[in-house]
Chains A and B, each alone.
Chain A
Amino acid sequence: MHLAMKNTLKPIIRNFIRKPAINLINLFGLAISLVFVIILSVYCYNELTTDTHHAGGDRIYLIGKPGAGMNTPAILKPHIDMEVPGVEASIRVAGTWQAPVFQTENGEPITSDLIFSDPDFFSFFNYKTVEGDCAAALNNPMSVVITKPLANKLFGRNSALGETIKYNNEKLLTVSAVIEKPTGNSFLNFSALTSIETRKILQPSEGEFKEWGWSNFQTYLLLGENADPTQVAKTIFSVFPKEFQKWVEEIHLIKLKDVYFSNLQTFGAHHVSMGDKTKALILLFVAVLILIIALVNFINISSSQWMERIKQTGVLKVIGATRIIIFRKVLSETFLVFIAAVILALVIMAGITPIIQSYTGIQFSTKLISSPKLLSILFTATLVFSLILSLIPGFSISSSKAVNNLKRSVDQNSKKTYLRNGLITLQYVISIVLIAFTTLIYKQVEFGSNNLVFNQENTIAVKLTPQLDKNIIKDEFEKIPEVQNVSMSQFYPGKQLSSWGTRLKLDGQEHEVHFTTFSADAEFFSIMNLEIVQGRLYSDASEKDKNKVIVNETFLKEFNIENPVGGTFEMNNNFDYEIIGVMKDFHFKSVENAIGPLAIINQGYASYGLATIQAGDFNSLSSTLKKINQVASQISPAFPVEVSFLDSAVKNMYESEVRFRRTFSLFSISAVIICAMGILAMSIFASQRRIKEIGIRKVNGAKVSEILSMLNKDFVKWVLIAFVIATPVAYYAMNRWLENFAYKTNLSWWIFALAGKLALGIALLTVSWQSWRAATRNPVEALRYE
């Protein structure tokens, strides 16, 4: 073993030193590609296996319709428990409208993601307990279960069990258990969990637990072994009162492991995150493409290298090496280079993963990277790939005659160059498709944030806290000279908005309607630049205008109403809310979603203050921002103050898009670079192989420019062929991707032109460097070579 290692390792290392450029390209190219491939695969694996770690998850369902809402009324659970056969247990989960603030005795206020649930929560969802007993943790009101990271933030390294936490600077919660964050991915994200009984104390609300129209909870069901989900769904539907059945339409059950990819409308709920299977699969596909590019590079480089060393294998045969020995030599070299690349990749990854994660926002536990499962997969893959990749050079070298090897005349036949050129063309195809796709994704995100049809410029949003009273803050802000207008509303791009199902009384007729709604004052319309097209806007000064409603144009279209002015909505058996105007449509949700019916109500509630400020340069903007921050912090010392620009909030609304854009562009640019590395290596070989030809041509009077164009011509030809193949492929893929959007940018021809030009440019740049060196070489030197 020792000897075999010595005899294979030494020549590899020496060969490496003799030809550093090619070998570094080979090793680092492979290692870097593996870094990207591994990171992407781990991420995609993590995404695609979301919530598969809950025991009994097969029988757990969420009530909700894929692509639509997930909220159900709180009153549904007692009815299900009593009236629906086949359901063994059920729990409700709700988040908070605003993330509350937790504080220890002397500690800093910390924003937490609190959710509420029934005591059975931990028999539905599996979490590892660090301290306390989860099963009984939610039995007493005002007790709270927190995650390890939050416990560390609040209590440091000390035990958190039994400690008290001040909630929103008013009530006290007692820690009854500490849990670990799951290693696997979950759609449910929270840092603190308390019971529904506690919710009744913290957020007292009469109607929430009585009204069928008040849907703030997600309901999870544990079905019996033999229960039929469709039947259960039907029975649940029959539980709803008649007048609500029309609005509910039908009940769907979503399997726990499918929830993450069911594209539920979360309306910005903090504790539920939705994944996108298409994006995960696209990224997985990118990983496969990078792997293909890397393997093509490896095949091309190593087979070219073996061709160069063919004489040597002839010698080995003459002095008594069998075919198997030679094949084993090829295999062990391939394996060693591969395993070195894997190790190098793991080392690079240890440093680079956090950077890539924070840049792209793709999240997965870093534990996954060092897991024995991944390592064993890597090792097996290395073995398999080395074996496959050795087959091509190994077979052609070991099967040829020793004499031919010595004469360097192993069939460099057309079949092999076709293969090599075909592989390079394939790489160009991949590059062009990736470049085109990246451009399109940029274009779509730009299109999205530029077409929201409301004003985002020079507007600052301040999140209100229990100490930041909206009237006081409005007065204080208006005292700042740079502030022009101040509005108080519940709107903030990307944040949770409530939806209503109720009846509309109009001209003596009753319509069943449902819509998204939030409260805002009149100033809101001028700040956001929203146009009233029918009726009038309410006035902040007039007390009479309280509870007046403005609906959007989609509302009219959706419910076939021509003039809604004068119509009233029912609430608590009163028809108090009167429609007085219609506004133009605007994207209150991100442009991925179609604009739905919307009603803005002058209720006087607010969770955000919006302020427009004078346009100015960066310095004046930031000093204004500082003033606003100061004012807010003075009034609200116990709560962290969050001040943000509206346009960046809009960008955040596209967080998942931006994340995807960054991830995709980072990885596709890397793929293109890796591809260029391979082509560089191939151009080195090409100019070496043709060194004699170049010499002869020069001796016979060829100019440097003629040699250059001769050498570059091949590579350009492949790019052109690749362009022809890539364009329809990219066109198809891009069209499919755009189908995900309700409002989409158009597929311009220039995207393809740009991708083709870039690919050609990159190819010429990489190839020309080598060609120039070969073409300017002294021909005598080249001819002496043999």
Chain B
Amino acid sequence: MIQLKKIDKYYDSRFQRTFILKGVNLEVKQGEFVSIMGPSGAGKSTLLNIIGLLDEASAGEYYFWDEPAHQIKEKQKVMYHRSHIGFIFQAFHLIDELNVYENIETPLVYRGVKGKERKALVADLLDRFNIVAKKDLFPSQLSGGQQQLVAVARAIIGSPKLLLADEPTGNLHSEQGEMIMSLLKKLNEEGMTIIQVTHNEKFAQYGTRIVKLVDGLVQEDYPVTNRS
């Protein structure tokens, strides 16, 4: 489903070339839950952004659904963002001026889903995440955990095939973090492919596989044996 071959990412400054990623090879199959780990500055987020088509590799080949992503046009990328990829972030990134309901609804609006159907889908998800009572509140009125819950709802409302999470628990305290992680695990069990970036050893155990990145190189890549 996802295949990275010898991916490089570097920035050229006047005197030297700084590598963020160097020769990264990675293959992710459908239904996997991959946790990318590593110290700060290892290139985890950059790798995730490349996978999510938000950033481009400087060199190498990237196949997204067997399509050469390094050749995908801007328009096609937007289409993938609408239907194939969902994102959640450390800082939640909800839209401040929209309430919970509208935040979740927005991706459907862009996909051109009809009003009635949208209503049904959002209501369904609110119900499933147990946040029906909060649907009229604004992000600033929610706790961090609740905000991330809404962000997850927004990410999966379009039923994407791939969910990308950039330190989803980084701004949460442990109890909220666990709540989000078990939700992600449940989504994975229902068939969604997930790639997350995390610092947290414990939360990495919720996945099926761990990839350790150090200084832009894949150092370790192993399956999780006793999944929590």
The interface of chain A, by Cβ under 8 A from chain B, is 3, 7, 10-11, 14-15, 18, 311-312, 314-323, 325, 401-403, 406
Report which of B52, B55, B78 forms a contact with A322, defined as CB distance below 8 A: B78
Pair B98/A11 contact, Cβ less than 8 Å: yes
- Chain B 146-166 near chain A by CB (<8 Å), digits 1 or 0: 000000001100100000000
Q: Which of A7, A11, A320, A321 has the most CB of B within 10 A?
A: A320
Pair A14/B97 contact, Cβ less than 8 Å: yes
The interface of chain B, by Cβ under 8 A from chain A, is 49, 52, 54-55, 74-75, 78, 81-82, 87, 89, 93-98, 102, 106-107, 109-111, 115, 138, 154-155, 158
Q: Which residue of B lies closest to A311 (CB)?
A: B93
Report which of B49, B78, B89 forms a contact with A320, defined as CB distance below 8 A: B78
Pair A320/B81 contact, Cβ less than 8 Å: yes
Pair A403/B55 contact, Cβ less than 8 Å: yes
When A and B form their complex, which 5 residue pairs have the shortest distance between CB atoms, in order from nearest? Answer: A320-B82, A11-B97, A14-B97, A320-B110, A319-B107
Known: A18-B96, A18-B97, A320-B82. A7 touches B54 (CB 8 A): no
Pair A401/B55 contact, Cβ less than 8 Å: yes
Q: Which residues of A contact B55 (CB under 8 A)?
A: 401, 403
22 contacts between A and B (CB under 8 A): A10-B97, A10-B98, A11-B98, A14-B98, A15-B97, A314-B93, A315-B93, A315-B94, A319-B106, A319-B107, A319-B155, A320-B78, A320-B81, A320-B110, A320-B111, A321-B78, A321-B110, A322-B75, A322-B78, A325-B110, A401-B54, A402-B54
Pair A406/B81 contact, Cβ less than 8 Å: no
Beyond A319-B82, A319-B106: 8 further Cβ-contacts under 8 Å? A7-B109, A14-B138, A18-B96, A319-B154, A320-B158, A322-B110, A402-B54, A406-B93
Report which of A312, A323, A403, A406 forms a contact with B95, defined as CB distance below 8 A: A312
Compute how far the CA of A319 lies from the CA of B107 in the bound complex, rounded to whole angstroms. Answer: 6
Q: Which of A315, A318, A321 has the most CB of B within 10 A?
A: A318
Compute how far the CA of A325 lies from the CA of B82 in the bound complex, rounded to whole angstroms. Answer: 13
Compute how far the CA of A384 lies from the CA of B115 in the bound complex, rounded to whole angstroms. Answer: 32
Q: Which residues of A contact B87 (CB under 8 A)?
A: 318-319
Compute how far the CA of A517 lies from the CA of B82 in the bound complex, rounded to whole angstroms. Answer: 89
Nearest-CB distance from B221 to chain A (Å)? 25
Q: Which residues of B contact A401 (CB under 8 A)?
A: 54-55
Pair B115/A3 contact, Cβ less than 8 Å: yes
Nearest-CB distance from B141 to chain A (Å)? 13
Q: Which residue of B lies closest to A7 (CB)?
A: B109
Q: Which residues of A contact B74 (CB under 8 A)?
A: 323
Q: Which residues of A contact B158 (CB under 8 A)?
A: 320
Compute how far the CA of A314 lies from the CA of B94 in the bound complex, rounded to whole angstroms. Answer: 11
Pair A403/B78 contact, Cβ less than 8 Å: no
Q: Which residues of A contact B82 (CB under 8 A)?
A: 319-320
Pair A406/B107 contact, Cβ less than 8 Å: no
Q: Which residues of A contact B95 (CB under 8 A)?
A: 11, 312, 315-316
Nearest-CB distance from B59 to chain A (Å)? 18
Nearest-CB distance from B184 to chain A (Å)? 18
Q: Which residues of A contact B93 (CB under 8 A)?
A: 311, 314-315, 318, 406
Compute how far the CA of A312 lies from the CA of B96 in the bound complex, rounded to whole angstroms. Answer: 8
Nearest-CB distance from A400 to chain B (Å)? 12
Q: Which residues of B contact A14 (CB under 8 A)?
A: 97-98, 138
Q: Which residues of B contact A311 (CB under 8 A)?
A: 93
Compute how far the CA of A325 lies from the CA of B107 in the bound complex, rounded to whole angstroms. Answer: 12
Q: Which residue of A lies closest to B109 (CB)?
A: A7
Nearest-CB distance from B68 to chain A (Å)? 20
Nearest-CB distance from B32 to chain A (Å)? 22
Compute how far the CA of A325 lies from the CA of B109 in the bound complex, rounded to whole angstroms. Answer: 11
Q: Which residues of B contact A314 (CB under 8 A)?
A: 93
Q: Which residue of B lies closest to A325 (CB)?
A: B110
Pair B107/A320 contact, Cβ less than 8 Å: yes
